Structures are given as structure tokens and as C-alpha cells.
Amino acid sequence: MHMKKGFIFDLDGVIVDTAKYHFLAWQNLANSLGISFSVEQNEQLKGVSRIRSLEKILAWGNKSISEEEFARLMHEKNEEYLQYISRMDTTEILPDVPRILDHLSTEKQGIALGSASKNARVILEKVQLIDKFHTIVDGTDVTKAKPDPEVFLIGSKQLNIAPEDCIVFEDSVAGVQAANAAHMISIGIGDASVLHEADYIFKDFTEINKEFINNLVSARKV
């Protein structure tokens, strides 16, 4: 019998590398407040909501601002980020992502996006991958940020596939923890020392072959 699983992909750092654009926008915002902002600090904002990210930056700089200023800065940061992603194209897709998506499609597996980004649909359209997904769950659909499993549980429900039969691809610690909390198989994409809580870890999709994917189809989270 042909088994069907749900494969849920994070967006930033998994399908495309928009982290660099977040970094530039957050760095410019921090600098405008006289706060230094490093690549290492940016790592701590991966998979984190815009509100929480700004709260963290303000805490690092020991700054407090009014609610109005907070709202204005969040809006400005997003506008700058949107300018960056408006220029995105298919060259921004990370290596071998289309190969994996095409294989899953050929094998008639469920394919979902599970991202904190409220710009997920725009980005997928820009890189011409939006038609590869059966369902998209983004920041407009959730109320709880990763490591809460809400985003992945909604994806599983929309695919009509049980959480135990879902596999998540994530590049952040919070995302891996969310997948584990949802009782899904977690696959870390990136640095093994950072993503050690994942069930499997790969540097990128070039390291993932068809046999591994096919084995996942017959496996289940225990």
C-alpha cells in the first residue's frame, strides 16, 4: 500500500535564505537607536516573531521606548524587509529544494509550508514555488510562536494527515522544538551543533537523497 505522509517546510533558511534581509533590516533599526547588532544576535531572532525580536534588541541595548515608537519601528523594519524581498527571484531558492519538492510531488505526498513569516506567500510567488504546496500556514494563521507547535499542527490538520505521520524541515532551534512538541519527525537543516535536538540533521538538501525520503514515508515518530 502506498503510504502518504505530510512534509512541512519552514521558509526562511530552509527554502530561501531571507535571514540576510532580516539581518540588514534589524541592523539598520538597531543602529538608528544606537544599539550594535551582530550576526550572532541575529541567529537568536530566527523563528522569532517581529514583536519579540524588537523586544530582544531593545533589551540588548538597555533601551525603553513608547508604544507608538515601538509600533513605528516595527512597521519601518517590515517596509525595509519588503523592499528587499520584492527583488527576489528563483536564484534565491536554496540548493536542491526544487528536487526534493518535485520528488515528494511525484510520490503524491502531502506538502505544506509552516512559517512564522507573514510574507510567506509573497516570497513563494517571487521564487515561483507557491504551486508546489498543498497548503500554506504562515504568521497570519497562528497566534503562538515556535517553539509552540501550533503552526505545524495547523499544517497537519489542513493536509488531513496525523501529526505522527508528518515530517518537518527546520533551520532554527525553536522550529525543531516545535516539531518535536507536535510529535513529528524533525529534520534540522544547518549546523549540527545548533540543531542537535532534531531527529536528523543535514547541512542542506544536497545531502538528502530519494532513498532517505522514501524511508521517511514508511517511518513514524515514536
Give the model confidence (pLDDT) of 69-121 as tens digits. Answer: 999 999 999 999 999 999 999 999 999 999 999 999 999 999 999 998 888 99
Would you call 10 a catalytic residue per the annotation? yes
DSSP 114: E
The edge-to-edge listing of strands for the beta sheet with 166-170 is 135-137, 110-114, 6-9, 166-170, 185-189, 200-202
Q: Does domain 19-85 have CATH number 1.10.3720.10?
A: no
Query: What residue type is assigned to position 218 of the chain?
Result: S
CB 15 within 8 A of CB 192: no
CA distance 48 to 172: 9
Q: 10, 138, 165, 171: which is the annotated catalytic residue?
A: 10
Query: Residue 1's pLDDT is what?
Result: 33
CA distance 205 to 90: 16
132 in helix, strand or coil? helix
Q: Into which CATH architecture does domain 6-16+92-218 fall?
A: 3-Layer(aba) Sandwich (3.40)
Query: Residue 14's pLDDT is what?
Result: 97
The residue extents of the domains of the chain are 6-16+92-218, 19-85
Dihedral sign (CA 24, 30, 35, 41): negative
pLDDT tens, position by position, for the chain (222 residues)? 357 999 999 999 999 998 889 899 999 999 999 999 998 898 888 777 789 999 999 999 999 999 999 999 999 999 999 999 999 999 999 999 999 999 999 999 999 999 988 889 999 999 999 999 999 999 999 999 899 999 999 999 999 999 999 999 999 999 999 999 999 999 999 999 999 999 999 999 999 999 999 999 987 766
